[in-house]
Structure 1
Amino acid sequence: MECNRNFLTFVAFVFHLVCSFFSTQVLCVDAPFIHIPGNGVISGTYLKMFRTQNIKAYLGIRYAHARRFSPPDVELTPWKGIFNATTFGADCLQQNPMPSMGPETDQILKILSSETQQGGSARKYEENCLYLNVFVPDGLPEINGYAVVVWIHSGDFSTGSPIDVNPFQLVFKQKVIVVTFSYRLNIFGFFTTDDGEAQGNYGLMDQAAALYWVKKNINFFGGDTNRITLMGHDAGAISVALHMTSGEWSKGGFQKAIIMSGNPLNAVKLPADYEGSLDQVSSTFGCPRRPTSMFMQCLRKIDAQRLSENLPVVSWGPVLDFGLSNTSYPFIENQPEILFKRGSYHKVPVIIGVTDMEEVLTLFKDNLDAEISAADLEGFYNDIAVNDMHKLVKNYEWCSNYDLIAESIHFIYDNDTDKDMRKSNKHIISAHTEKFYITPMQMFAEMIGKDQPVYSYVFKRRPESLLQELPRWISVPKYFDQVFVWGNPYMTNTVNWKSADKKIAEIIMTLWANFAKTSNPTKSNVYIKWNAMKPSNDSVLLIDENFNTDNLHNNQRIHFWKSLYPKILYYSADCCNSTNSGGSLLITKTLTIISTLSIIVKLF
């Protein structure tokens, strides 16, 4: 058996030499074989586009094993013979088919995944799903190897797949290796209990295991182990930020980070927050809720497909797991904002950015053409006030100070000079995007900018070739920027792409690849000024036709959400907790707040 294995390795090595020698002149049937020490030999495939565009792909490579509700095991048994890495592995179990995110977003997602799934075959879903895919430029790498981009897919920690994007053009045009992978989702990836029986964050541990595999083996594919960029979007972006604070789990696994359309300071849940959800799971599957060991034993016996298809609606995701295991390190030992503030994170250069209307297609899902009334606008501000107050005071009792909070938001966003018929619509989405995305981005940059460069951006241009029927007041929703990041205007699909979209895609791919290669997005082949953010100059790149820069330091709305709004919340909560005798204090504080708001508006 050992002789056969050695002979196969020798054959693979010879074939690799032959293919590498002739790869610039002829096209081998298979991509060059690769020998991975400790695992074996794999054969890949060439992906082709047009007549002259080729990249190498090694698909469906296992990077770890995992027992249900347990951390991944990175010790892999060597495979026998030559592993056929020419088809994608199964996706991790999730709702199938996935629920619609609205016709516009569904169309964008379909374009982003164009031609990724071979032959249009139906996706497969399995519990044993820890596979990764390596996309390699065709040709000889640089002396130290290709820069590497490791992609964490979008979704909500319950859905998503590595084949949701097609990395062909980024690999082909920019000569970087792209690695995509699956990780456990929903209950399989984030089941947790508050008694130490189930640590949770198994999906994040899977991500760390994929990083470990890349760091250990990417050099055999021509990659540079010292130039690994961790990149993610939406839930993937939040994951990237969590890897920056993950301590031993991701230490040394990457040297750069790209965070797109995610809040890096997003508070993670506490284990106790899942108690009600676990009760629902227990009831749904008839498993005893206590003791936890019996609960987990019962859940482990349930068929994975049945468990996935019958899960109650639960917002699964990362959890603060400090102290929940005696056998493994915590992945999240404290809230991300606290860890970043005190400098407890892996210090790497960062690109971070958002679109200027992130959740517009969700907030206005069935009413894109409707004009929001003044009453609806006030209701939106009231909802923000109620939700934030409840988070602060930890109860749902009525508080008389919601109006104070809502009025302060209205004061900042009221603009009588705006004559646009959709001004209320734009105020709602501006308040939402600036509160939940742009302000955290600016705060994050201030926290870590003193240690390494942080480049921030706001996408203000959506593809001209797509969804022209969208109302004119809508700018760039979530996912629309990804069309440019992955070079979809250069793909062969049914969209008649305009040259302007191709130009933007070329620039964005160049900026991202420059960063992956040199930590400087404007290092070469692009004539754009993009300065790293500084405490005194919160420079942000506005990605539109002009690629100008703005300074968030002078933005009154960002200043409001960052500095004044938290004080208003605490004042209001304090007054809610006080007796009626504190009425005069409330009036004094209210006058102080309104006066401060007036001063801010005059200053800016």
Structure 2
Amino acid sequence: MKCKRNFLAGLALFYHIVTNYSFKYAQCVDAPFIHIPGNGVISGTYLKMFRTQNVKAYLGIRYAHARRFSPPDIELTPWKGIFNATSFAPDCWQNPMPSMAKETEQIRKIIASETNSDDGGRKYEENCLYLNVFVPDGLPEANGYAVVVWIHSGDFSTGSPADVQPFQLVFKQKVIVVTFSYRLNIFGFFTTDDGEAQGNYGLMDQSAALYYVKKNINYFGGDANRITLMGHDAGAISVALHMTSGEWSKGGFHKAIIMSGNPLTTVKMPYEYEGSLDQVSSTFGCPRRPTSLFMQCLKRVDGKRLSENLPSVSWGPVVDFGLSNSSYPFIENQPETLFKRGSFHKVPVIIGVTDMEEVLTLFKDNLDTELTSSDLEEFFGDIAVTDMHKLVRNSEWCSNYELISDAINFMYTNDSDTDVKKANKHIMSAHTEKFYITPMQMFTDMISKDNTVYSYLFKMRPTSTFQDLPSWVSVPKYFDQVFVWGNPYMTNAVDWKSTDKKISDIIMTLWANFAKTSNPTKANVYVKWNPMSPNNNSVLLIDESFNTDNLLNNPRVNFWKSLYPKILYFSADCCNSTNSGGSLTMIMKSIPILCTLSIIVNIF
């Protein structure tokens, strides 16, 4: 994939650099060089796909330094000579990849393409803040190429910029794509509730990467005024958090694409990590108090040892308001609160999900199992218990779970439904609509008053592979990425069909149009996709037809958005009232009836 350097051209260019150090962007037939003021000169490599397909790649460029449990340092020391930016830098230390369904492993390898599918050759380090710039071959347009900055998938504890291969999007759509690493797990999200450790260092790394791109992308031929921040899964949540990050990412991006992530996801509070920090303290033999000694001890632990021996902790963003006297909070309040009150960067947005996001996580290797109505009721009961526990701290003998689960069951069971695996599909519909589609609708309702917002629902998976998936399974997480990155045009083991190439061409065009003009249907595509508004919840259904629908035409979305919270709060109030004294037996018998009557009266 790499081209050989032409020695004479390189020598001439080096002489030009030495004698005239003010040029910004240079192109060479064999070896492109770029001078970045304040840093130095870098040489990249050509990535080739067939004889006539080239893109330029500048890999492993440092954008900041990272000291453990500290914000990133964006001051970079100039390097000597010419920096060889022709290979990926080490990834950030991360937890072992959790066990996943074989289909998920397969689709992730396809997305990464053949060259990046072997994890065995990856290296890791702690000072890991590097980025990669993929540039179309040829001269840019007058103001430079539009830029897409990609935040990788994962769970804030795993993931790598090498998990995707952006070649086809860059080559076909003539946009620059930037990928980067940021600190993960304890390295990126260690926090304490006493102000010693702010947390959110991984999100600060992301802002540092945006700062570097904004400052230097013009030297690569990019337009610093057309930067689109795009992410998937945890990367999508990150994009939404950058929209509410105040000064941290202000002006660093101009558009946002949020894929397969809940932008209103509840962010943890620092005190919720107390138990986890006790586990970490015990694992590494560090004193838990005072926090300053705890941190000093952890800083002495080798990075590899720290990463490989961490207890199981769900690391991630925290509300860090008031946790630092030296830096702005990254997350001042819960995202839903900030979006509701308009405290976010007003940029055009594309947001969407697949129609069975977590099917391969929930069912994993049991896709052929046919669930029963009892399994369905148990699933809905688990939702009721989980949501009630969030509202009622002391709910040992609360009896209203059945009331909530019955309401969910009413919305999702249909006696006339004779489809095979109907219980399986009901579970996945409830999960996707509760945790993805409804939050997406609520989010767009909040921001569409001031923003241009486009939403989509992915209802088509690749037709060229995964034919052995059961017929009841629609589109799991990651399967849309095949089309976004143009994988049907990559030279991998899949014999891609023309349908997949056609869909990929359309998706890449929509996404690139948005990055270039803020309008996904601006040019070269015949798709009607209207922006959303408070009175128009239009959503693009991405399949072979590309029709549109209204999110609120789905009564179950209305249920989760409006009716379910009322049922939940009424039930919680009734549970709380059981703690007020009196005969326990009489209360237990009467409360569900009274609550049910109260709900009916107040809602209907």
Q: TM-score, normalised by structure 2?
A: 0.94
By how many angstroms is 1:367 displaced?
1.2
Letter in 2 for 1:34: I
* Alignment correspondent of 1:172: 171
Secondary structure of 2:347's match?
coil
Checking the alignment, whether the CA contact within 8 Å between 1:8 and 1:82 is kept in structure 2 is no
Distance in 2 separating the partners of 1:246 and 1:139: 36
Alignment of 1:33-48 (within 5 A): 33-48=33-48
Partner of 1:87: 87
1:548 maps to 547
**Structure 1 residues 596 and 507, CA gap change in structure 2 (3 angstroms):** farther
Matches within 5 A, 1:372-411: 372-411=371-410
2:593 pairs with 587, 593, 601, which one? 587
For residues 509 and 172 of structure 2, the distance between their equivalents in structure 1, rounded to whole angstroms, comes to 9
User: Residues 323 and 9 (structure 1 numbering): CA distance in 2 closer, same or farther, change over 3 Å?
Assistant: farther
- The alignment yields a C-alpha RMSD, in angstroms, of 2.1
Letter in structure 1 aligned against 2:228: T
How far is the alpha carbon of 1:424 from its aligned partner? Answer: 0.4
Offset at residue 116 of structure 1 (A): 4.5
1:166-245 to 2 correspondence within 5 Å? 166-245=165-244
Q: What is the one-letter code of the residue matched to 2:373? A: A
How many Å apart are 1:128 and its aligned residue? 1.0
Instruction: Compute the displacement of 1:46 (Å).
Output: 0.2
Q: Does 1:330 align with 2:337?
A: no
Following the alignment from structure 2 to structure 1, what is the Cα–Cα distance between the partners of residues 205 and 312? Answer: 23
Q: Do 1:12 and 1:35's aligned partners in 2 also have CA atoms closer than 8 Å?
A: no
1:10 matched residue in structure 2: 16
The 5-angstrom pairing of residues 25-64 of structure 1 reads: 27-28=29-30, 30=31, 32-64=32-64
| Closer/same/farther in 2, CA of residues 396 and 51 from structure 1, 3 Å limit | farther
Structure 1 residue matching 2:193: 3-state secondary structure: coil
Deviation at 1:95, TM superposition (A): 2.8
Q: Work out whether residues 66 and 126 of structure 2, in 8 Å CA contact, stay in contact via their aligned partners in 1.
A: no
User: Deviation string for 1:43-76 (max 9, x for gaps)?
Assistant: 0000000110000000000000011000000000
Tell me if structure 2 keeps the 8 A contact 1:16–1:33. no
Q: Write the distance in 2 (CA, Å) between the matches of 1:46 and 1:57.
A: 6
The 1:451/1:183 distance shift into structure 2, 3 A limit, reads same
Does 2:473 align with 1:474? yes
Say which is worse superposed, 290-299 or 575-584, in terms of deviation: 575-584
Residue 585 of structure 1: CA displacement? Answer: 6.4
**Could you say what secondary structure the match of 2:304 adopts?**
helix
Give 3-state SS (helix, strand or coil) of 1:361's partner.
helix
Displacement of 1:395 after TM fit? 3.7
Partner secondary structure for residue 466 of structure 2: coil
What's the CA shift string for 1:292-325, capped at 9, x where partnerless? 0000000000000000000000000000000000
Match of 1:108 in 2: 107
2-side partners of 1:319 and 1:343: how far apart? 20
Q: Indicate the residue corresponding to 2:581 in structure 1.
A: none
User: Who is 2:448 aligned against?
Assistant: 449
Alignment of 1:430-445 (within 5 A): 430-445=429-444
- State whether residues 9 and 35 of structure 1, in contact with CA within 8 Å, keep that contact through their aligned partners in structure 2: no
Residue 9 (structure 1) shift = 7.0
Distance 1:274 1:390 in 2: 18
Confirm whether residue 71 of structure 1 aligns to residue 71 of structure 2: yes
2:26/2:34 contact within 8 Å kept: no
| SS class of match (2:44) | strand
Distance between the aligned counterparts of 2:375 and 2:551, measured in 1?
A: 29
Partner SS, residue 258 of structure 1: strand
Q: Secondary structure at 1:72's aligned position in 2?
A: coil
1:72 & 1:37 partners in 2: Cα distance?
20
What is the alpha-carbon distance in structure 2 between the residues aligned to residue 193 and residue 259 of structure 1?
29
Change (3 A) 1:116 1:339: farther
CA distance in 1, matches of 2:241, 2:113: 29
Q: Which amino acid aligns with 2:44?
A: G
Q: Which residue of 2 aligns with 1:3?
A: none
CA distance in 2, matches of 1:243, 1:81: 36
Matched, 1:530 2:536: no
Amino acid at match of 1:109: R
Which amino acid counterpart does residue 185 of structure 2 have in structure 1?
N
Give the deviation of 1:535 after TM superposition. Answer: 1.2
Specify the code of the residue in structure 1 equivalent to 2:66: A
Amino acid at match of 1:139: G
Cα distance in 1 for residues equivalent to 2:563 and 2:165: 43
Q: CA deviation at 1:10?
A: 2.9
Q: What is the total number of aligned residue pairs between the two structures?
A: 586
Letter of the structure 2 residue corresponding to residue 341 of structure 1: K
1:534 is displaced (CA, Å) by 1.3
For 1:464-543, list aligned pairs within 5 A. Answer: 464-543=463-542
Indicate conservation of the 8 Å contact 1:112/1:482, yes or no. Answer: yes
1:350-379, CA deviations, whole angstroms, 9 ceiling, x for partnerless residues? 000000000001111121001101111000
- What's the CA shift string for 1:167-226, capped at 9, x where partnerless? 000000000000000000000000000000000000000000000000000000000011
Query: What stretches of structure 2 of length at least 5 have no aligned partner?
Result: 1-11, 579-583
The alpha carbon displacement at 1:99 in A equals 3.1
Provide the rounded CA distance (Å) in 1 between the counterparts of 2:180 and 2:394.
40
* SS of alignment partner, residue 431 of structure 1: helix
| Matches of 1:415 and 1:315, distance apart in 2 | 37
Aligned to 1:571: 570
In 2: Cα distance, 1:500 partner to 1:13 partner: 53
Indicate the SS of the match to 2:121.
Answer: coil
| Aligned-pair CA distance for 1:119 | 9.2
SS of alignment partner, residue 377 of structure 1: helix
Query: Do 2:357 and 2:476's aligned partners in 1 also have CA atoms closer than 8 Å?
Result: yes
Deviation of 1:415 after TM superposition, in Å, equals 1.2
Structure 1 residue 94, shift from structure 2 partner: 1.1
Judging changes above 3 Å, is the alpha-carbon distance between structure 1 residues 13 and 53 closer, same or farther for their aligned structure 2 residues? farther
**Cα distance in structure 2, aligned partners of 1:100 and 1:167:** 26
- State the Cα deviation string for residues 20-62 of structure 1 (Å, max 9, x = none): 67x6xxx41x2x1100000000000000001100000000000
Which residue of 1 is the match for residue 312 of structure 2?
313
Cα deviation, residue 121, structure 1: 6.8
Q: What is the TM-score with the length of structure 1 in the denominator?
A: 0.94
Which residue type is aligned with residue 209 of structure 2? A
Q: Which runs of 5+ in 1 are unaligned?
A: 1-5, 600-604
**Aligned AA for 1:268?**
V
* Pair 1:116–1:240, CA change in 2 (3 A): farther
Match of 2:259 in 1: 260
Output one character per residue of 1:399-454: Cα deviation in whole Å (capped at 9) or x when no partner: 10000000000001111221102110000000000000000000000000010111
Distance in 2 between residues matched to 1:350 and 1:416, nearest whole Å: 40
Residues 141-150 or 573-582, more deviating: 573-582
CA contact (8 A) 2:574 2:595 kept: no
Does the 8 A contact of 2:26 with 2:33 survive in 1? no
Hey, what's the Cα distance between the residues in 1 that align with 2:103 and 2:402?
35
- Provide the rounded CA distance (Å) in 1 between the counterparts of 2:271 and 2:219: 44
Q: Write the distance in 2 (CA, Å) between the matches of 1:406 and 1:12.
A: 73
Moved more, 504-513 or 529-538: 529-538
Q: Match of 1:89, SS?
A: coil
Letter paired with 2:74: V
**Tell me, what secondary structure is at the counterpart of 1:458?**
strand
C-alpha distance in structure 1 between counterparts of 2:88 and 2:517, whole Å: 31
Shifted more, 99-108 versus 382-391: the winner is 99-108
User: Following TM superposition, by how much is the alpha carbon of 1:553 offset from its aligned partner in structure 2, in angstroms?
Assistant: 2.0
Aligned counterparts of 1:185 and 1:344: Cα–Cα separation in 2? 27
What is the rounded CA distance, in whole Å, between the counterparts of 1:88 and 1:250 in structure 2? 25
Residue 568 of structure 2 aligns with an amino acid whose one-letter code is: L
385-394 or 435-444, larger mean C-alpha shift? 385-394
